[in-house]
Amino acid sequence: MENKKLSLIIVIVLLAIPFIYAGYLYPSLPAVIPTHFNLKGEADGWGGPDSIFLGPGIIGFASLFTYFLMANLKKIDPIRNKQVDDSFYQNMGVMATLFLSCVSMVILYTTVHPGVQIEKILFPLLGIGFASIGWYFPKFSQNYFAGFKLPWTLENESNWIATHKVAGKVWVIGGCIQVVAGIALSAVPSFIIFFANIILMVVVPTIFSYRMFKNGNKLP
């Protein structure tokens, strides 16, 4: 219980930081500020000073929803998660909140520093997020809310375990590639690699899971 209270306090602090930063920026904002950026990192949407709070609000809501879902996953599906340590999904929820708060801070920073190349920060940050999720994947137990929820993984525990081990490796490697690409390449190539990564990180574990299923849920 104490760990849950501490995690919730950490989440609240992480959610508050972007709002505090936005409040700090607000008095010095011009009449019009960028609210959206294209693939090249150039501003292509504009709004008034009050829109500085829009991003933190949307991302904050998504963060809070993710945290409460992850923190209560064991209660939602107690049979499949009965052997999972109580703090596992809770810690994942905190990590997700940290990641999304960092994304929010990056967006706020680039809003008031238009010369900064947002892709040089955002794509490496996404790569770190992918790698972090990949590191957690092998620790996932069967559930209906997080992980590769395929017909074959949900039907067979061995398939679930093996698929998430493969997914973990693919996501860690893909995340590292994304970090390097984000730093070394311009916006468009970085986005292409990002898109290709997404496809591979979904397709490779899915194909592996299906092949294992066709092989009688034995490793192919």
Number of domains observed in the structure of the chain: 2
63: nearest Cα among 17, 101, 18? 101
Query: 14 and 74: one domain?
Result: yes
| pLDDT digits 0-9 by tens, 194-205 | 889 899 999 999
- Domain of residue 169, residue span: 117-220
| pLDDT digits 0-9 by tens, 61-104 | 888 888 887 777 767 665 555 555 667 777 788 888 888 898 88
Last residue of a domain, one of 115, 148, 180: 115
Query: 59 and 127: one domain?
Result: no
38: nearest Cα among 188, 218, 198, 214? 188
Query: 60 and 159: one domain?
Result: no
pLDDT of 2 over the 70 cut: no
For the chain, the farthest-separated pair of C-alpha atoms sits apart, in whole angstroms, at 64
Query: 56 and 8: one domain?
Result: yes
Confidence of residue 120 (pLDDT cuts 50, 70, 90): confident
Query: 106 and 37: one domain?
Result: yes
Last residue of a domain, one of 115, 149, 172: 115
Query: 75 and 164: one domain?
Result: no
Query: 142 and 213: one domain?
Result: yes
Nearest 10 degrees: Cα torsion 212, 216, 217, 220: -40
Query: 203 and 110: one domain?
Result: no
Strands (E), the chain: 33-37, 43-47
> Considering the chain, what is the average pLDDT of its residues?
82
Fill in the amino acid letter for 64: L
* For range 20-26, the mean pLDDT: 87
User: Residue 48 phi/psi, 5° resolution?
Assistant: -75, 175
The predicted model scores a pTM of: 0.74
* For range 24-34, the mean pLDDT: 79
Last residue of a domain, one of 83, 115, 147: 115
